[in-house]
Amino acid sequence: MITEVAFARIIHDAWSTTLGFQTEGPVTGEYSTAGALTVCVKIAGAWDGELRLHCSPQLARSIAAAIFQVETESTRSEEMLDALSELTHIIGGNLKPLLPRPVKLSLPSLPDPADCGRTTPQWQMGCCLRFLCEGHPFIVTLVGDSPAATPRENSADGQTRLSADNA
């Protein structure tokens, strides 16, 4: 079972260990993905889905600077996308043990901007978490097959749970 708490912990840990960045969240509020850089990792196997990271170009620049150990102002767009791809793949790799087996991750990809809001018809939103890092919002979403990643009623502890039967 994947909980929002476990998903958020994976995200916090990936950002702090990989980048040395602190994140706040999940936070409430709206954040438009218009103008955001988006990287996706497809998940295939006993459960099919996709992990998506959306963040502002300013935050992507800071991420690239941290990963490539260069000055923020000198980062190039290719480095920004490479850094986001690496971070998304790390999050996916840490999520993988919580998903039904067998499971494989694709290499990170950039979605077609026209398709960014769409998903495979049978996919459902499993989890959408919003965070802040260095004052910039970012969103991490997990969409996928039903029932392996469908929201359930809040449990007694108030956490939305995602089903992930590892049988």
Residue listed under structure tokens 């920004």 = 80
Q: What is the pLDDT of residue 145?
A: 82
DSSP string of 22-48? --B-S--S----TT-EEEEEEEEESS-
Q: In what order do the strands lie in the sheet with 124-133?
A: 103-105, 37-45, 49-55, 136-144, 124-133
Return the pLDDT at 126.
83
Task: Write down the mean pLDDT value for the chain.
Answer: 83
Q: Would you kindly state where each structural domain of the chain is located, as residue ranges?
A: 2-162
* Share above pLDDT 70 across residues of the chain, in percent, rounded to a whole number: 80
Closest C-alpha to 99, from 45, 53, 151:
45
Evaluate if residue 35 carries a pLDDT over 50.
yes
Report the CATH number of the 2-162 domain: 3.40.1550.10
Q: How confident is the model at residue 121 (pLDDT cuts 50, 70, 90)?
A: low
In the predicted structure, residue 52 carries a pLDDT above the cut 50: yes
Residue 110: pLDDT over 70: yes
As given in the structure block, the two tokens for residue 126 are 């499993």
Q: Distance between the two ends of the chain, CA-based, in angstroms?
A: 11
* Stretch 68-79: mean pLDDT: 94
Q: Which helix (H) or strand (E) holds 133?
A: strand 124-133
Position 123 confidence tier, pLDDT thresholds 50, 70, 90: confident
What local confidence, expressed as pLDDT, does residue 114 receive? 45
